[in-house]
Amino acid sequence: MKPLVGLLLLGSCLCAQAPAPTIDSMTTELSAARRKLVDWAGLTVYGSDNTEIAAPKPGENRVVFIGDNVTAGWGKGKTPFFPGKPWFNRGIALQTTPQMLVRFRQDVVMLEPKVVVIQGGLNDIGMVMGPGSEGTISDHLHSMIDIAKAHGIKVVLASLTPICDCYNSIETRIRPVGKIAAINGTLRDIAAETGSIYLNYYSVLVDTAAGTRQMKKELTNNGIDPNDAGYALMAPLAEKAIADALATK
């Protein structure tokens, strides 16, 4: 009986330490869930902004970046999002590739870019919105590429970025480093197969010296998203990939 009593007491202590949910916190969570339910793809996030953007000027090399939190966070810190360039950030935090596919026509095609940079998949394998696999990621990306090509938009396909257990011990269990590497191989193949440009963000963020295939701690503040230092390394790779896409016939 003593071990059982001890476990019950321990459980009571842990429950006592955990903050009890408040009416306000539950209301906030319920509101967030409702917004996700009624606008699963995030069509309202940029919908109004898109309608106010004029058509590209003659000779304008407009670019749209569509992606998840890795794209959405670019420009939120001290590292700006390509100032002075007619490039638009259409990232939404925690999105998956099926959500991006649903809003692709609105958030990319409608803006009439010459190039689109597609970045996504990390939240699919993290099962943020339900099960996702290498196969489903590939299908959704192929569909986005097909839509882009049908509208004369050249495609840059970005790699998944590495993650790390720098701040907790669960990130690599949720998004295994081996799976990230394998999917990046598939993304490289898709780019070659479809005539797209492969953008290898992974190469400048991963800690190759440690041999763990995890993101360098100094390049992230949470183990998943790049920080200012990370974006500073990613920017020239994106610029080069876009220039290569514009140069293709």
Domain boundaries in the chain?
39-247
* Mean pLDDT for the stretch of residues 178-203: 98
Cα separations (Å) of 61 from 49, 84, 87, 240, 245? Answer: 19, 12, 8, 14, 11
Contact 232/79 with Cβ under 8 angstroms? yes
Residues 6+ apart with CB under 8 A from 228: 77, 78, 79
What are the pLDDT digits (tens) for 47-100? Answer: 999 999 999 999 999 999 999 999 999 999 999 999 999 999 999 999 999 999
The whole-angstrom separation of Cα 226 and Cα 229 is: 7
| pTM of this structure | 0.86
Beta bridge partners of 90: 66
Band of pLDDT at residue 7, cut at 50, 70 and 90: very low
* Mean pLDDT for the stretch of residues 184-189: 98
pLDDT attached to residue 27? 65
Q: Give the closest residue to 62 by CA, choosing from 145, 152, 190, 192.
A: 152
What's the mean pLDDT when you consider all of the chain? 90
- CATH number given to 39-247: 3.40.50.1110
pLDDT attached to residue 144? 98
Band of pLDDT at residue 131, cut at 50, 70 and 90: confident
pLDDT attached to residue 33? 56
What are the pLDDT digits (tens) for 8-41? Answer: 343 444 344 445 678 765 565 555 555 666 789 9
Residue 6 has pLDDT above 70, yes or no: no
pLDDT attached to residue 187? 98
| H-run or E-run covering 155 | strand 154-158
* Cβ atoms within 10 Å, residue 88: 21
Residue 119 has pLDDT above 70, yes or no: yes
What are the pLDDT digits (tens) for 215-238? Answer: 999 999 999 999 999 999 999 999
